[in-house]
């Protein structure tokens, strides 16, 4: 979909941003009819409040929109994006600059997102003319990538099964000249991916691993791993209905990895990119794995199934072990892994884990700059003993039930040795209630900040 209009038409409706500090001056400069209307409407420039202004003939003349003041403890750079959801159809422009123009434009594009695969929307949306000094192509790339990820996550499991998720990955790879290799069904056992096979073998559609690479072979190696559980019943340790309703989003890690891959490839970052997606359904049938089963892993560690609903870390373990064999410079994994992360930090603030202090600082810096929030939690080594298995090397479910996001990250850490730096993101991939730039429903978390980090570290185009 087009997020922005082309070169500024003369009749674009101006949007004026106001704060408590700037309002007196802006109000004094308004035409008489508009000033009287604002006074009659009792407009105050509180953050997020908007007012459509008429001219002397009652025609649509402009928009006022309140922003946080300079002294505000928190300013949401996506706040102007709220206008994309409340303004009538038309063409608009910024009459003055918001706090961060590029993020305001991105917030507009992300707010304008609609998932209309099953329910077509007839209402026309407002269009924005971007200022001439902004890299609109970059913003469009980010918005298209997020749209890709959101569409995948929002699609229900009857249409986003393992076949469909594989097809989405293969299509993206082909779009940028990469060829994907698929390891399917019992071939997972032949190729030594026993954990992926164990988790997905009970489903009607067989489990698989998608693997594609892009970029010059001598470029820095950056590998993305995304959890692709297309639906999670919990397995034999079945979830209650309340916990199962949103499990179409349990492939949100794979969708995030694909969204980030789109950004990297579309912008031509000089990387050797590798994307690994273990894709399964955690279903229930006669061949489902049982609690207390023990399986080998690609790395050679034996894994005891403490709970069949802790399946995500198992499929990630085999994929991470494969990624680690290549000793990438940077290894990132994304997974809707634990409810414990939501209890600790809520839906909007995914925790991340890394032992690389410089990388952790860079992630925090780019998260703030990109308005893509994350929060570091510790790989607390004393908790590592909680995942020691009784009958195997390691269990997929710490018996204590405490520190669940940390112990899940420690589980994954056991499968990474050679990568120069590894980071795990325990994302939610969902926005429960709409916010500027974040409509209710599927969300791509942490991808934009990692793209910013990679772009900053390696540049945008190979020289």
Cα–Cα distance measured from residue 318 to residue 299, given in angstroms and rounded to the nearest whole number: 7
Q: From the candidates 208, 313, 435, 448, which is the catalytic residue?
A: 313
Q: 182, 211, 3: which is closest to 106 by C-alpha?
A: 3
**Contact status, residue 209 vs residue 277, Cβ threshold 8 Å:** yes
Between the CA of residue 292 and those of 295, 351, 394, 397, what are the distances in Å? Answer: 10, 29, 12, 11
Contact partners, residue 58, CB within 8 Å, separation at least 6: none
Answer yes or no: 414 catalytic: no
- Which helix (H) or strand (E) segment holds residue 60: the answer is strand 60-66
What token pair was written down for 117? Answer: 């695969």
Question: How is 89-129 classified by DSSP, letter by letter?
Answer: SSEEEESS--S-HHHHHHHHHHHT----SSS-------EEE
Q: From the candidates 239, 267, 376, 457, which is the catalytic residue?
A: 239
End-to-end CA distance of the chain: 31
How many CB atoms within 10 Å of residue 220? 18
Between the CA of residue 59 and those of 15, 34, 48, 54, 388, what are the distances in Å? Answer: 15, 10, 23, 5, 71
What token pair was written down for 32? Answer: 């008489």
**Contact status, residue 127 vs residue 163, Cβ threshold 8 Å:** no
Answer yes or no: 342 catalytic: no
Looking at the annotation, which residues are catalytic?
A: 239, 313
């Amino acid at each position: 979909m087009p997020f922005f209009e082309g070169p500024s038409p003369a009749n674009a409706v101006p949007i004026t941003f106001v704060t408590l500090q700037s309002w007196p001056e802006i109000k004094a400069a308004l035409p008489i009819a508009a000033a009287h209307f604002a006074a009659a409407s009792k407009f105050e420039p509180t953050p997020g409040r908007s007012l459509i202004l008429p001219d002397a003939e009652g025609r649509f003349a402009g928009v006022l929109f309140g922003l946080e003041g300079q002294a505000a403890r928190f300013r949401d750079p996506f706040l102007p994006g709220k206008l994309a959801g409340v303004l009538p159809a038309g063409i608009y422009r910024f009459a003055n600059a918001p706090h961060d123009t590029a993020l305001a434009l991105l917030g507009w594009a992300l707010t304008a997102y609609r998932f209309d695969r099953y329910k077509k929307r007839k209402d026309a949306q407002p269009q924005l003319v971007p200022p001439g000094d902004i890299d609109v192509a970059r913003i469009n790339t980010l918005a298209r990538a997020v749209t890709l990820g959101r569409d995948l996550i929002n699609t229900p499991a009857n249409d986003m099964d393992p076949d469909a998720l594989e097809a989405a990955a293969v299509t993206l790879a082909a779009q940028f000249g990469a060829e994907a290799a698929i390891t399917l069904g019992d071939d997972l056992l032949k190729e030594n991916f026993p954990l992926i096979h164990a988790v997905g073998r009970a489903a009607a559609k067989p489990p698989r691993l998608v693997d594609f690479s892009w970029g010059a072979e001598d470029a820095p190696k950056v590998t993305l791993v995304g959890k692709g559980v297309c639906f999670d019943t919990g397995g034999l340790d079945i979830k209650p209905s309340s916990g199962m309703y949103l499990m179409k989003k349990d492939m949100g890690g794979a969708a995030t990895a694909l969204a980030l891959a789109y950004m990297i490839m579309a912008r031509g970052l000089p990387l050797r990119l590798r994307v690994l997606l273990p894709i399964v359904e955690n279903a229930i049938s006669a061949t489902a794995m049982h609690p207390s089963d023990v399986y080998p892993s690609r790395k050679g560690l034996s894994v005891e199934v403490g709970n069949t609903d802790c399946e995500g870390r198992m499929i990630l373990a085999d994929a991470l072990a494969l990624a680690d064999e290549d000793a990438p410079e940077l290894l990132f994994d994304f997974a809707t892994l634990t409810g414990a992360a939501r209890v600790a930090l809520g839906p909007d603030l995914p925790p991340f884990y890394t032992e690389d202090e410089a990388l952790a600082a860079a992630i925090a810096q780019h998260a703030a700059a990109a308005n893509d929030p994350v929060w570091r939690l510790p790989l607390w080594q004393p908790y590592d003993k909680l995942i020691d298995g009784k009958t195997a090397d390691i269990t997929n479910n710490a018996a204590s039930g405490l520190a669940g996001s940390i112990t899940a990250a420690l589980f994954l850490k056991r499968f990474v040795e050679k990568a120069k730096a590894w980071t795990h993101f325990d994302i939610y991939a969902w926005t429960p209630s709409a916010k500027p730039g974040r409509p209710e429903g599927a969300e791509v978390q942490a991808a934009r900040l990692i793209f910013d980090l990679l772009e900053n570290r390696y540049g945008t185009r190979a020289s």
